[in-house]
Structure 1
Amino acid sequence: MRITAADVPALERGVALLGSGGGGDTVTVAVLLRRLLESGREPAVVGVADLPPDTLVVPIGIVGATAALTEKLPSGDEMASAVAAIQRWTGQRAQALMTIEIGGLNGLLPLAAAAELGLPYADADLCGRGLPRLDQASVAATGRGMAPAAMAEPGGQVVVLASASDAAVEDGVRAFLVSSGGWAAIALAPIPAGELAENTVLATTSQALALGRRALAAGENPDLPTLETALRGRVLARGRVLEVSRHVGPGERGRPGFGRGSATLADHRDGALLRLEMENEYLLALRDGLPVASTPDILSVLDRRTGVPLQCDLIRAGVEVDVVCLAAAPFWTDPRRRPLLEPRAYGIDCDPVVAG
């Protein structure tokens, strides 16, 4: 299929829902993508099974403080520079692109890069949702590994991490971002299309587009059965946010932690209190103190007036919201992989809530 300008609103809504409160603001990136598509450069999104097995697919995306992207806008060359660097280092030419992460702005911006570079776009990603760390990606879960990785920042610096463990790649990226203005484009080594089914989360762009279309079709402030049918999920609460608290979370390997916090709301249906524990994404929901949903399932908070997903850093007391839970991609329900995303992976002492 080809992504057109008419698809952008639905795709934006879908990737925002899959961001689980993280992944960065999609509004500015959607404008950039829409303008590119209106010029006639429409990327072809190709199913993994439809790509020749030897097609070399390069995962690309944005890493770092995505909020800085709206303050320090991309020049448009960053992803092309990162792809060129990984091609030089590996000696392999990119024959297709894919996103590292479907949740949030990375569900949109790599499509623009594919259109600019004239390359097909594989319908898969490395996360299936929004995730905060590279060492949580699917290629880390399967043991394929992250390195080598090439980064290009808006000022023109290009760095290649040639060989390192997944944890070291994550640390190296964070260290580079300190001096790069907060964000950078990243490209990973090409993956043969024949290996994508084993190492990636499949069909995520087409699924995000379908999810967004259903969400928009449900309209603003739908009743709960309509909302659950549209999202194919379950509503955990509908009510007013009473309190939001924030603090710095625990760090790892000597670096500062991500922002951590919680939001509490009263469910209008029965007065129950729902508390959301959050980091860069919503991680755990407790209803009257009992866990009712958790990562790796996707928790999303929707503004009742508009249906727009609220990011963790934007949720505020007094807002009327719907809290919904969407099922995790099957890739992450495998017990061998789930520990990378379950609550304890974020330092929360709680077993994952397994949907049944």
Structure 2
Amino acid sequence: MKITADDVPALERGVALLGSGGGGDTRTGATLLRHRLPATVTPVADLPPDANVLPVGVVGATAVFTEKLPGGDEVPTAIAAMERWTGVHADALISIEVGGLNGLMPLVSAHELGLSVVDADLSGRGLPRLDQLSVATAGRGLAPAVVAEPSGQVLVLATGSDTTIERTARAFLASSSGWAMLVLPPIPAAELPGCAVLDTISGALALGRRVLALGESPDADRLAEAVDGDVLATGRVLEVSRRLGPGEHGRPGFGRGSVTLIDHRDGSLLRIEMENEYLLALRDGRPVASTPDVLTVVDRRTAVPIACDTIRGGVEVAVLRLPAAPFWTDPRHLPVIAPRAYGIDTEPVLP
């Protein structure tokens, strides 16, 4: 499949929806992608079984990414370091996360390197932590990992647990440029079905096309049909509260918050708990939707997704639930991104 300029608006909308309120601003990624087309997307089944697929993506503060743009050397530098360390040459790339900015940036990188991107990713949505990626969840581990930041520093994390890799990478980013390109160990194509979420780029493109086809101010029923999910509420945001979330070992956690609105349809009160992503929806105090399903908030008039860090009171919105990828509803994997994985003491709400 070739991604052309005509596909970029739909792909951008699809990955923004799958970001679940996180994943970073997609506008910058879409702008970069428009100048690096066409991009090739290859289904997993079409790859030779022994093809070596490198996971890549942007990590860190994606808000800084829009101010400090990539110079173009970050991905080639990180891939070269991984190839030297492992002795394995990259045959294709795979995104670490289809939700948000990372649904677009691997296509940019692949075009520059003359490689294709696999129609899959390691999240199936937006996720905040490296140790939640599907490869970590499936037991493959994250080490060795390479982090290359815009000023030219390259960090190779040769060994360590998944939580250690996550913690060390973030400490490096906090003391350097704020964001970097990450490359994880190569995965043989034959092993991708067991440790990746398949068909996610084509799925994001199809999702975006369906939503864009609705035009402005789509009614709730048509919007639910387009996202193959539910509209949990439509209404004006009454209040947004923010606080610091729980941390570990004396370190601060991610920012937490709550969004409250009255559902215009029945007058009920909907509250959304959020961290980097929207995590849990409660109607009149009762949980009605949660991660691993994708919860997203869109502008009621334009259906453009609204990120957790930009949502404000007074905005007319629709709150959507998109079904989780089957990888995450597997009982072996579900605990990794269930509400308790974020410190929210409730069971996941499954359809």
TM-score, normalisation: structure 1: 0.98
Counterpart check, 1:50 vs 2:46 = yes
Alignment of 1:268-279 (within 5 A): 268-279=264-275
Alignment of 1:151-300 (within 5 A): 151-300=147-296
Aligned partner of 2:90 among 91, 94, 97:
94
Structure 1 CA distance, aligned partners of 2:326 and 2:250? Answer: 33
Structure 2 CA distance, aligned partners of 1:45 and 1:313? Answer: 31
Structure 1 CA distance, aligned partners of 2:94 and 2:76? Answer: 13
What is residue 14 of structure 2 aligned with on the other side?
A: 14
Counterpart check, 1:108 vs 2:104 = yes
Structure 1 CA distance, aligned partners of 2:51 and 2:249? Answer: 37
Structure 2 CA distance, aligned partners of 1:170 and 1:259? Answer: 17
Summarize deviations over 1:100-152 as a string: whole Å, max 9, x none. 00000000011000000001111111100000000000011110111110010
Summarize deviations over 1:137-181 as a string: whole Å, max 9, x none. 001111011111001000000010011110110011111101222
- 2:211·2:226 contact (CA, 8 Å) conserved in 1? yes
What is residue 331 of structure 2 aligned with on the other side?
A: 335
Structure 1 CA distance, aligned partners of 2:136 and 2:248? Answer: 18
Summarize deviations over 1:179-203 as a string: whole Å, max 9, x none. 2221000001110000000010001
CA deviation after TM superposition for structure 1 residue 23, in Å: 0.1
What is residue 29 of structure 1 aligned with on the other side?
A: 29
What is residue 133 of structure 1 aligned with on the other side?
A: 129
Which one-letter code corresponds to 1:273 in the other structure? L
CA deviation after TM superposition for structure 1 residue 254, in Å: 3.1
What is residue 73 of structure 1 aligned with on the other side?
A: 69
Structure 1 CA distance, aligned partners of 2:102 and 2:63? Answer: 13
Which one-letter code corresponds to 2:207 in the other structure? L
Summarize deviations over 1:290-328 as a string: whole Å, max 9, x none. 000000000000001211000000110000000000000
- 1:43·1:118 contact (CA, 8 Å) conserved in 2? no
Summarize deviations over 1:202-261 as a string: whole Å, max 9, x none. 010000000000010011111111111111110000000000000110012332100000
Which one-letter code corresponds to 1:50 in the other structure? D
SS of equivalent to 2:321: strand
CA deviation after TM superposition for structure 1 residue 6, in Å: 1.0
SS of equivalent to 1:131: coil
SS of equivalent to 1:311: coil
Structure 2 CA distance, aligned partners of 1:80 and 1:298? Answer: 32
Structure 1 CA distance, aligned partners of 2:67 and 2:248? Answer: 28
Structure 2 CA distance, aligned partners of 1:98 and 1:119? Answer: 10
Which one-letter code corresponds to 1:173 in the other structure? A
What is residue 314 of structure 2 aligned with on the other side?
A: 318
Moved more, 77-86 or 287-296: 77-86
Structure 2 CA distance, aligned partners of 1:187 and 1:180? Answer: 17
TM-score, normalisation: structure 2: 0.99
Q: RMSD of aligned C-alpha atoms?
A: 0.7
Which one-letter code corresponds to 1:12 in the other structure? E
Structure 2 CA distance, aligned partners of 1:256 and 1:64? Answer: 15
Which one-letter code corresponds to 1:236 in the other structure? L
Structure 1 CA distance, aligned partners of 2:341 and 2:317? Answer: 27
SS of equivalent to 1:175: helix
Which one-letter code corresponds to 1:132 in the other structure? P
Structure 1 CA distance, aligned partners of 2:124 and 2:198? Answer: 8
Which one-letter code corresponds to 1:29 in the other structure? G
What is residue 2 of structure 2 aligned with on the other side?
A: 2
- 2:74·2:180 contact (CA, 8 Å) conserved in 1? yes
Which one-letter code corresponds to 2:124 in the other structure? G
Structure 1 CA distance, aligned partners of 2:79 and 2:107? Answer: 14
- 2:218·2:301 contact (CA, 8 Å) conserved in 1? no
Aligned partner of 1:344 among 317, 337, 340:
340
SS of equivalent to 1:280: coil
Which one-letter code corresponds to 1:310 in the other structure? I
CA deviation after TM superposition for structure 1 residue 346, in Å: 0.3
SS of equivalent to 1:36: coil
SS of equivalent to 2:64: helix
